[in-house]
Structure formats: C-alpha cells, structure tokens
Chains A and B, each alone.
Chain A
C-alpha cells in the first residue's frame, strides 16, 4: 500500500533499461538530463569544455531521439549546422577560385554530421510520415529558403536569374542537397495521401524568398511535376479563396498589394515548369475549370474561374497555354453552366470579370483567331438553321455580344492611344491579339464579306482597327482582299467604307493598295478568277458616280492610271476572261497626262491583239470593252492613233484574221495533220514578248512567205463563217476604226452618217498601211499614173493586188474609209492602178455577152470607180459611170475604164491638188482647176448612145 500510495519523491533509481530499442539504447534519466544541460549551454557538463559544433549537433540528435518535446528546439539548432556548412563551402569555393588552393582546414568537416541528421530525419519520416512529413518538410524548405536568401549576394553565388548555375551550385553542396533529399522524401511519402501540407510550405517559402529560392522550386517541380502542378494550383486556389476572390485592382496589381501573396509564387512556380511540362499544366488548368462547373458548389469551386483569370492576368505564359484549348471546350452546355455560375454574382464583380476577360483577350496571341471566331459565333443571334440542341442560351449570347463590343472598344483605345512610333522614345505598346490576327486578314475579309447580320459589322470594325494597328501592311492587305473577294456592289461597299475610315488617318493608302494588288498579280499570288473579280471590282468603283472628291472612286482612277503598263500586260493573258476584265478596267480608267511611248505602244499592241481575239471568240462584252479601250487609247496622242490604225488594219489583213471579215482563211502551209500539234503561232508568241522594242509594222510581213516546195496546196476547206457574223464583224471593226480615226472622242454624239468625217491624217495612215501590206513591191509605185501601156511591166504585181482584193472583201471597205478622208486616197494610187489595170485586162479579154457573167469583177469595177469618185480622184460625172456597168458589155466597160485611166494619167492624184477648208476641217478638190473633163466623157457618151434603148433614162446623169 505504502509503496503505491506514497509519492515516490526520492530520486528514482534508474528505471530498468529496455534493450529492445535497437542501436540506440535509451539513456537513463540522469544521462538525459545531462545531455539537455549540455545542449542548452553548449558546454560539456563533465569536462567543462565548450562543445564543438559537431558534438553539439550530435547532442541535439540524441535529444531528438529521446526527448520528444525538444524537437522544435533541436530542429532550430540544426539550422546552424547547415548554415555553417554552407558558409564553409562557399568560402572554400571562393578561395579555390582565387587561386589560393584548396584550404580544407577552414572548418571542421561536417559531412558526417549532416549525414547523421539526414539518417535520423529520414528514419522518422519513414516510420510515421503522417506526423513527421509536414514538420520536416516545412523545416527543410524554410531552411533552404533562408540559406538561399542569405548567401544570395555572395561572390561565388550566381545571380538568381541564371537558374541552372544556381541549381548546380546548390546541388553540389552537400548540406543543401541533403535538405533537398529530405524534402523529397517527405513529399514522396505523402504523395499518395495528402501532400498539401508539404506543398503549402513550399508556397509560403517561395513567397518569402522568391528569386533566390527558384532553384528549389525548379528542382522539386521537375521531380514531381504532376503533383506539384496540381497541388500548387489547389493551394493557390485555397489561398485565393481565403484572401477574397476579387481584389479591387485585378488588372494592374501594384507591387505593394499584399492581398494575394501566394498567387505570385504560384505563377512563378508554374512559370518554371512551363518549359517542360506545359502540357500537364494545361491539362490541370482545364481540369480545374471543368471541375469548377460541377453541380456541387462550395466556395472554392466558385472562386476557381476568377482564380484562373487572375493567374492568366499575371502570367502571359499561362494565358497562352490555356487560351486556345479553353475555347475549344466551351460548348453550349459548358457555357450555360458558366452562366448559371455567374448569374448570382453582384453586378460590380461581373463588370470586373468582364473587363478582365477583355483584357486577357487583348493579350492573347496564339489562337486569337479561334477566340474571335468563337465569340462571334456565340454572339450571333440564333437563326432557324441552328440545331435546337446546340443553340446557346440567350443571356450567354448577350454576354458574348457585350464582350465583343467591349473588346472592340478596348482595342480601339489601345490602337489609337499607342505612342507614335515617329517619336522614337518608346516602341509602341504591342497588342498581342492584333499581332496574331495579322496573319488572318484574309480569313477575316472572307468572313466579313459574307455579310451575315451583326457579325460582319464587328469584323469590319476589327479590320479597321487591325489596319490602323499595323499600318501599312495590314491596311493594304485588308483592302486588297476586300477588293479581290467582293462579288457584289454591296460587298464592295465594305472596301470603300473601310477606305473612308482609314483614309482620314493615313496618307498614300490608295497608291499602296493598288501597288499591292499589282504586285500580287505579277507574283502570281492571285488565281485567275480572283484577278477577274478584282478588275471588275476596280472598274466598278472607278465608275461609281456621285461621291465626293475624297472618295475612293474619285481617286482610284488616277492611281490606277499610274499602273497602266502593268495592267496592259494582262491584256494578253492566256485566260480570255482575265484579258477581258483587264480591258474593261483599262477602258474605264482615265489615261494619264503623260505616258511613256514605249509603254503606250505595248498597250496598244496588246489591246489590238486582244480585240481580234475577242472577235474570234464572238464575245460581245469583250468586243465592247476592247472597242472602248482602243478608241480611248487613240485619243492619247496622234502617234497613238496612228499606231492603232496601223495595227488594226494590219491585223485585219492578216491571214489569220481575214476570215473574220469574209476573207479567205489563211492557207495552211503544208500538211495540217503533221502540224496539228505545233499550231503555235510564232507571231503570237512573239507578241507576247512585248517589251519596249517596237516591231512596228514589219512584224506582219516577216512570216508572210510560207513554205516552198510543198507542192500543191490542199484545197481550202470551206470554213466560211455565217454572213451575219461577217457583217457584224465588219461593222464592229469599221466602227472602231472610224472612232479611232476621229481621235478617240468616244461617247461624243455620232456625226450624221452621210457626212463621214475621217481625219485626213488617220486616213493617210490607213492608206499607207494598206499600200504596205498589199503591195510589197515598191517599184513603179509613185503617185502619178503612167500611160496605160506601161501596165505590161507590172502585170504580176497588179494581179497580186487584185487577188488580195478578191480574197478579202474588207479591202474595199478600207479603201472607202480612206476615200472618206481626202486626200489620203492619193497614197493608195498604186493599189488603184494595179486594180484598174487588172480589171481592164479582164474586161478586154472577156468574151461573155454581159458583165454580170463575171460578178466579182463587175463588183470590183463598180467599187473601184465609186471609191475613186468618193476620194475626189474622179470628177463627179466620171465617178458616176459605175452605175451603168452592169448593163454593159465587157468591152464597153473596158473602154470606160480606159477613159478613167486616161483621166488619171492626165490628172495625177496628188495631195497638193487638194485645198484645206478650215470651216469644215477637211480637204477639198476643186475639179474646175483641172483640164476639161469633156474629152474623157466621149467614150461614155458613145456607149450611152449605143445603148440608148436601155440607158437613155440615165443620159441626164452623165451631162456635165
């Protein structure tokens, strides 16, 4: 009884030792008390000397093993050991760097003590991770933080920014490496259950020792990427919840704002991990987002979205990681969940959040276009086409609408408030969103041109902002695409509107745009259809009327005319539609005041060629464009007019084009079959190489000859065109020619048909071309007529001339045209002579009873005489006699033509015989100054007399 009840106050005589305790036999209580004293005082209680750091540490370890309440004191004491170790280590490093050699004797070697500490702690953690891991991990991480901060400024320690060197330094130091190992052990032992405690310590320390501590974070993060990522985020979220979800100034947190301290280190840590584990981070962020939308709603879930937004605000890297993926996951169901989620929030918070979202969108670069598409699609009003299940909630749509409008507003502010680059003080602030959209100008334009309600307005506005943001490249791009892709007036209106917006704030916009178009065309960056569309659109704009002088249509013409040469080259594009469109554009755009003749000639040649091509294709619009173009070109300068006339006539007479006008088709030189594959016109090719070199005229003659030695030509296949077409073609050609002759006064009221007024110069040009092309032989080709007998020497030439006239009925028409512009017909003297000689010979040799038996000769004779009369080469009575040819015998016609010849011989057709009448603007011939015409009429009167029964009626007409 007494043994139990009396308080055993006397010192107990050492409790029995229990040997079951492994390698460390428990101390007796007295020994333990001694150890405590030694630990506290740092003095050996037995010998009275001071403990070395090693002994002191061992004493501490002993207490850790046997005195539970002393653990925090012991852990605090052990900090000194690590500190000492690091200090020594750095000193050694410095001295070895300084070339003093390794002086190992600076301090005691603490390796073994550090090792012992690690053994003890890791044993404890292994035995009971739940109790020890939080304590030990917090201790080790805090100690690492302290050490890194304390020695950050030391000479041997690299700067905090060079993470790898820092990591290398600290990991090669045993003390810090051991601490890292200890922490790693704690974390891995808790990883399956609840590592939050360990990670929380990491975050706290990271806040405290931020830049110097980064190496720890980097190391741990790369060892346990997934755990660290998810735990760091969840700890950050918890902290965020505690500190209030929405700080006042989320957008621009000041450095002094300590309200959300941990989020900064969350951002820092994730920033370290992003380089290697951005996928995991992305997954984790998305997972958080989706989990937060779940039905069970606690405070933490509610704060998730604001938290993620805040993270994104603070770290562009995270924003870039998540933004594109996030958009993909925002399905209608998710959106309506989000809507429900935020429906209950107060208005201010919502405003705040929306402004953050808008800010973030502005900062997004990758995937910006997708985000834009998503917003626009979501904000579009539901249409009947939308699948009912996929339609978004109305309020979601409104929210998106609002976000877009705010976004546009914000972008506008950013764009127009950017510092001017010309000042040169600071580069203008970048807007990543717009930077990214730069590459999507084309898509934006395509979208805009769809003209879907509402969205095209947004997109159009965005295009404007984008253009202002990165002028001039985007500006010209946008205008170029709009111009190219528009398909209607309404769509084209977008381009002009955009121009109207932009022209106020930038100069030289239109020239740059047109230049861009031209460059694109010549680079081959445009498909042919687009080229056609572009030309049509440009032409359309040029033709718009009723707009102010600053409008696009008013200025476009002038700008386009600067690129006349570039556009002119397209007249010969292998795609006829392109060529046609080019001719349309050229036909509407005004000619510049001055144009280099070489350029002009190239354009002219191209235009003429194109004209014949469209005639071949029987394309009415093309013909009209070409006609208009050529007649306009002819007004550019007299030289241009001459060149046009010359080329037109030459072209018309070219064998390839002859059949257009009822002439004989080109005789294929040789076997058709063998040449079928090579029916490439060298001429065509040659023309396409049009450069500044002028092959004026001669080109047509070079390939004229044909192949000798092929024997008989095969009979010409009767590929005659329809007479209506021929008439039509001739009509077109002649009217064009006439217009050109009038000097391009296109659109001027047509003069009355009977007073065909042809510019004498033009007529002369035509005449010269005719002579050149029909009569290559220039011997005996003076204007004056020789006696009739001399024709024998030129029989061959005359026959050739006649054949040309027979083969190509157009020649008579041309002759008439020449005749309409006196005195030009004089220059055709050689042709007239040859023709007349041949006809005379024919009629002389004819043994038929009447002239109608050789119809062509009859027609030719009539036409010739009429033409000469018209050209004032024959006096009126003599010029009327062709009216009776069809009622005469061939010989009588021969006689009559002979009298014409005689008259011509006596009255040479010289231009100086004509006098200019300024009031009419024409040359006129006064026949009264010539010799009496009477003697040439004798034959005529005789013939009349002989056939008085039939021709008596007409005798009055042939009296002078």
Chain B
C-alpha cells in the first residue's frame, strides 16, 4: 500500500495526517468485480446498507473538503473514496456504489453546487488538465483492478442528472489523455464502461475521441492507432461504439477517412479483435436493449453494405451544392473516395472471415443456434435503408453502387446464416428482401436451399432449427443448389467453405 501512495499523494500526510488510514490491500476473491452489463442500479435495500456510520463519514469528508480550493478538493475526494472503497472491498465482494460517494464526486469533481446559492468553484482549464493528469496517474498506480473499476464506475456512470454533461466531457478528456500517454488501466476501465453504459453515452465518448484524434489535431491518429497493442479490449469496444455512432444515415455520419483507415488496419491486422468482448464476457441469456452489442459485426456489415450508396449520395449532394467546383478539390475528393472503397472491400473481407471463424467459437461456448450475434432485428432496418437509398439515388446513375451493395449484403447474409450468427428462416429473409432491386447473388441466397456444411463441432444429425432442409432433400446431399440453378454455372458454388477458395485461415479458434 505504501508503495503506491507516496508518489500519488505528495504532501498529503502533512495536511491531515490523522486521517491517513491506509486502506488495507484488498486481496482475495473480490479482486475481480463482476459487473453486470446493466448500469448500476441501487437495490431496494440501499437505505439499510448505507447506515448512519457511513453517512457521517461522507459528511465529514465533505466538510473537510469545503474549505479547500477546487483542485485540491478534487484531489482529496479521490483519495478519500479510494480509501473508502478499498475498505469496502474487504468486507463485501461486490460493494454497492451508493449515493454518498457519488454526490461527493459530483460536488467536488464535476462542480455541481450542492447548496442552491453557493458559488460553484470552477476549475480553470489548467487546473482541469492537472486533475486529468492526477486521475490518470491514480488509475495507473492503483494496482487493484476492482478498486479501479469501482472508482471509475462511481465517477462516470451516468446518473441521469444535470452532472451528466460534465461527466461525459471529463470522461472524454480523461480517455483522450489516457490514449495519448498510453494509460492502459484507464483504457481497460473505459472498455468496461462502454460495455455497461447505455449506447447514447457510449457514443458520446466515441465522438469525443474521434473529434480529438481524427479531426482536431492533425497526425494524432497515429497515437490512437497505437492503442491496438496496448488495449485490444478497448479497441474492440471503441469500434463497436464508433460503428453505432457512424451509421451512414446522413452525410455527417459517414466515418472520417482517418478513422476508417485505422479501424480497417486494426481488423485486418487481427480480425479476432472484433470478438474480444464476446469471448471475454459471460453471456447473459438475453442481450439488454439500449446497450452496445457484444461485437461490432452488425455495425461493420452496415458500413460495408451501405458505404457505396452513402458515398454516392454524398458526392451527388456536394456536386449539386457546387462546393467542389474547382477541379483540384474534385480530384482529391475522388481520390480519397477510391481509397475508401478499397478500405471497405478490405473490411468486408475481414468481416466475412470473422463470421466464418465465429461458428467454432459459438459451438465451443455451446451457443450455436442460441445466440444471434448479428440480430435479425438489426438486419431488417439495414435492408430497408438500402432499399430507401437505392430508391433515392437514380438507379441509372448508381447501378454499379447498388449492385456492389447488394452483393455485399448477400455475401454477408449468406455467411452469417451459415455460421450461425444470423438466426432466421429463409422465409423471413425473403419477406424482408422482397422489395430490394434485383440482384442475382441475393436471389440465389434467399431462394436456394443451403447445403449445411458438415462441421466437426456439430454432432451428426444436428441442424440448427433455422436451417431445416426442405423435405425431399437428403441432409447430406453434396451440392443441392447446382441442379436447381443450371442457368448460373459460373456463380460461386455452395457450400460456403468454398466461397473464397484458396483462403487459408491462420487463426485458431480462441480457447
């Protein structure tokens, strides 16, 4: 304990030595708190747990802090809560973050005045930077993950009050700073935070980071890129939140090219990155609504599929607005667009690869056919958006783009269904895709029966209920689609294993 406090609280002992009751190091089974993905809710028995003794502690702390200036008060409150939660963790494996500490934090870190008429102490920008630095160091030096997590959670879990804005702004700066100085513990905490916080807040963090590193400071994207090696888990959550943010529904929501390039390079370097959260999280039966998904798969599929159409629309709008009248700007824009198309192709390939390796993981976790990582509910709006976009763009001008989008959609659907990531019947799919423009590949995917590839992990005779072969076809027929479609001999043949022939998979399923 003494090892990590002196550098962090310099001069602290001189201020109030009596108060320094070094928290006993919390060891043992409580070391890794099991936080549910749901936001921390106070249990009904909260009043009982926060006894009079605890309350008096909090008010004591508050009184001692009131006399201090804003910055030192902020430092002190962190210190006190560190002690407080450390001791709690010794008593209970899963301490309750109750109202007292959160109010303290709101008052002294986020500067929400508690009394109505009191003048709020404001940190100036320099002090704020100091506070950020202190917090970074704190999380870096607190060795116990459980303490870190609980402090982080107490600091930044949205409370649904007016302090939330300040909370989000400070969180954005903290994570941004952690990225810059590579504070892995902060990033890990942020990853957990992203996972168990409603998506509307997660998206705000993602936007703050994108603004900082992709928009504002030129060249700083490299700093963010390096995080890949430091905290893959954070990267995975970051990708998920970024795909949730940039859904290509309008021109403003097309991902910046720097961001796209970075995401693609991450995934291309290691496609398993996508699955990290999924593989490291105990899976609840039902995914909660309003939170980020377990994997960015749906979002990435959306990117790949919608990108050709969205870029086309953006180009059209800018041409009609006359913003890009000069030739140079037009050239550079088309050049950048070309780069982006390459990136999306690359991304699409990686997504398909990940989907294909997913089957093994699902089987391993005994979730095959039970957990749809690409929820059908999300596919439906995707198809509708494509439909709307292709209507919106003149089909004569955008036929190539529409073709590409539908091809990618068909491939993604096919592979997702085949790998068990998408759980739906072919009839469902047919209904959803009925209004889409004609596409040969898609036609094949939604009409043709799929030869279920035999999988080593599947016991013979086991079929996912969705893939019940039609009657009259033998379960192990080799290529049932071919005789059904003699007109298309050149099309990629089923089954999916031969979809990309010659592709070797250097990855082993993660165990």
Q: Report Cα–Cα, A64/B216, bound state, in Å.
A: 10
Q: Name the B residues within 8 Å of A128 (CB-CB).
A: 215-216, 218
Q: Name the A residues within 8 Å of B215 (CB-CB).
A: 128, 131
- Check B69 for interface membership: any CB of A closer than 8 A: no
Segment from A5-13, A627-635, A685-693 that makes contact with B: A5-13
How does the 8 Å CB contact mask read for B139-152 relative to A, with 1 for contact and 0 for none?
A: 00001010000000
Q: Name the A residues within 8 Å of B232 (CB-CB).
A: 4
Closest to A22 in B: B219
- Check A421 for interface membership: any CB of B closer than 8 A: no
- Check A242 for interface membership: any CB of B closer than 8 A: no
Indicate if the CB atoms of B184 and A21 lie closer than 8 Å.
Answer: no
Q: Name the A residues within 8 Å of B182 (CB-CB).
A: 12, 15, 29
- Check A386 for interface membership: any CB of B closer than 8 A: no
Q: List which B212-262 residues lie within 8 A (CB) of chain A.
A: 212-213, 215-220, 222-223, 225-226, 229-233
Indicate if the CB atoms of A8 and B180 lie closer than 8 Å.
Answer: no
Q: Name the B residues within 8 Å of A29 (CB-CB).
A: 180-182
- Check A694 for interface membership: any CB of B closer than 8 A: no
Indicate if the CB atoms of A7 and B219 lie closer than 8 Å.
Answer: no
Q: Name the A residues within 8 Å of B320 (CB-CB).
A: none
Segment from A69-77, A95-103, A162-170, A884-892 that makes contact with B: A69-77
Q: List which B164-188 residues lie within 8 A (CB) of chain A.
A: 172-174, 176-177, 180-182, 184-185, 188
Indicate if the CB atoms of A69 and B181 lie closer than 8 Å.
Answer: no
- Check A33 for interface membership: any CB of B closer than 8 A: yes
Q: Report Cα–Cα, A9/B273, bound state, in Å.
A: 18
- Check A929 for interface membership: any CB of B closer than 8 A: no
Q: Report Cα–Cα, A731/B126, bound state, in Å.
A: 118
Residue of A15, A37, A68, A72 touching B217 (CB-CB under 8 A): A68
Q: List which A29-52 residues lie within 8 A (CB) of chain B.
A: 29, 32-33, 36-37, 39-40
- Check A845 for interface membership: any CB of B closer than 8 A: no
Q: List which A801-827 residues lie within 8 A (CB) of chain B.
A: none
Q: Report Cα–Cα, A955/B226, bound state, in Å.
A: 167
Indicate if the CB atoms of B233 and A70 lie closer than 8 Å.
Answer: no
- Check B211 for interface membership: any CB of A closer than 8 A: yes
Q: Name the A residues within 8 Å of B220 (CB-CB).
A: 26, 65-66, 68
Indicate if the CB atoms of B222 and A26 lie closer than 8 Å.
Answer: yes
- Check B327 for interface membership: any CB of A closer than 8 A: no
Closest Cβ of chain A: how far from B177's Cβ, in Å?
A: 5
- Check A417 for interface membership: any CB of B closer than 8 A: no
- Check B286 for interface membership: any CB of A closer than 8 A: no
Q: Report Cα–Cα, A5/B184, bound state, in Å.
A: 13
Closest Cβ of chain A: how far from B381's Cβ, in Å?
A: 30
- Check A16 for interface membership: any CB of B closer than 8 A: yes
Q: Report Cα–Cα, A131/B184, bound state, in Å.
A: 28
Residue of B124, B184, B213, B229 touching A68 (CB-CB under 8 A): B213
Closest Cβ of chain B: how far from A470's Cβ, in Å?
A: 58
Q: Report Cα–Cα, A174/B277, bound state, in Å.
A: 55
Closest to A35 in B: B181
- Check B130 for interface membership: any CB of A closer than 8 A: yes
Tell me whether A26 and B184 are in contact in the complex, defined as CB-CB below 8 angstroms, given that A1-B510, A15-B229, A15-B230 are known contacts: no
Indicate if the CB atoms of B125 and A68 lie closer than 8 Å.
Answer: no
- Check B393 for interface membership: any CB of A closer than 8 A: no
Q: Name the A residues within 8 Å of B125 (CB-CB).
A: 72-73, 75-76
Indicate if the CB atoms of B126 and A40 lie closer than 8 Å.
Answer: yes
Closest to B511 in A: A1
Q: Name the A residues within 8 Å of B233 (CB-CB).
A: 4-5, 7
Q: Name the A residues within 8 Å of B418 (CB-CB).
A: none
Tell me whether A5 and B226 are in contact in the complex, defined as CB-CB below 8 angstroms, given that A32-B180, A65-B217, A128-B216 are known contacts: no
Residue of A9, A15, A77 touching B226 (CB-CB under 8 A): A15
- Check B371 for interface membership: any CB of A closer than 8 A: no
Closest to B129 in A: A73
Q: Name the B residues within 8 Å of A73 (CB-CB).
A: 125-126, 128-129
Q: Name the B residues within 8 Å of A24 (CB-CB).
A: 219
Closest to B211 in A: A131
Indicate if the CB atoms of B176 and A69 lie closer than 8 Å.
Answer: yes
- Check B276 for interface membership: any CB of A closer than 8 A: yes
Closest Cβ of chain B: how far from A193's Cβ, in Å?
A: 9
Indicate if the CB atoms of A21 and B130 lie closer than 8 Å.
Answer: no
Indicate if the CB atoms of B216 and A9 lie closer than 8 Å.
Answer: no
Closest Cβ of chain A: how far from B364's Cβ, in Å?
A: 12
- Check A132 for interface membership: any CB of B closer than 8 A: yes
Indicate if the CB atoms of A124 and B218 lie closer than 8 Å.
Answer: yes
Closest Cβ of chain B: how far from A34's Cβ, in Å?
A: 10
Q: Report Cα–Cα, A124/B279, bound state, in Å.
A: 41
- Check B280 for interface membership: any CB of A closer than 8 A: yes
Tell me whether A32 and B126 are in contact in the complex, defined as CB-CB below 8 angstroms, given that A20-B222, A128-B218, A132-B216 are known contacts: no
Q: Report Cα–Cα, A29/B180, bound state, in Å.
A: 7
Tell me whether A18 and B222 are in contact in the complex, defined as CB-CB below 8 angstroms, given that A33-B181, A65-B217, A132-B216 are known contacts: yes
- Check B272 for interface membership: any CB of A closer than 8 A: yes
Q: Name the B residues within 8 Å of A123 (CB-CB).
A: 218
Q: List which B267-296 residues lie within 8 A (CB) of chain A.
A: 272-273, 276, 279-280
Extra inter-chain contacts (17) besides given A29-B182, A65-B219, CB under 8 Å: A4-B232, A5-B279, A7-B184, A7-B188, A7-B231, A9-B145, A12-B229, A32-B181, A66-B220, A66-B223, A68-B216, A68-B220, A71-B217, A77-B126, A128-B215, A131-B211, A131-B215
- In the A-B complex, the 5 residue pairs with the smallest Cβ-Cβ separation, listed nearest first, are A68-B212, A15-B226, A29-B182, A69-B173, A73-B129
Q: Which residues of A contact B (CB under 8 A)?
A: 1, 4-5, 7-9, 12, 15-16, 18, 20-22, 24, 26, 29, 32-33, 36-37, 39-40, 64-73, 75-77, 123-124, 127-128, 131-132
Pairs across A and B, CB under 8 Å, 29 listed: A5-B276, A7-B184, A9-B184, A12-B182, A15-B229, A18-B226, A20-B222, A26-B222, A29-B180, A29-B181, A36-B133, A37-B133, A40-B126, A66-B180, A67-B181, A69-B132, A69-B172, A69-B174, A69-B177, A69-B212, A70-B129, A70-B177, A71-B216, A71-B217, A73-B129, A124-B216, A128-B215, A128-B216, A128-B218
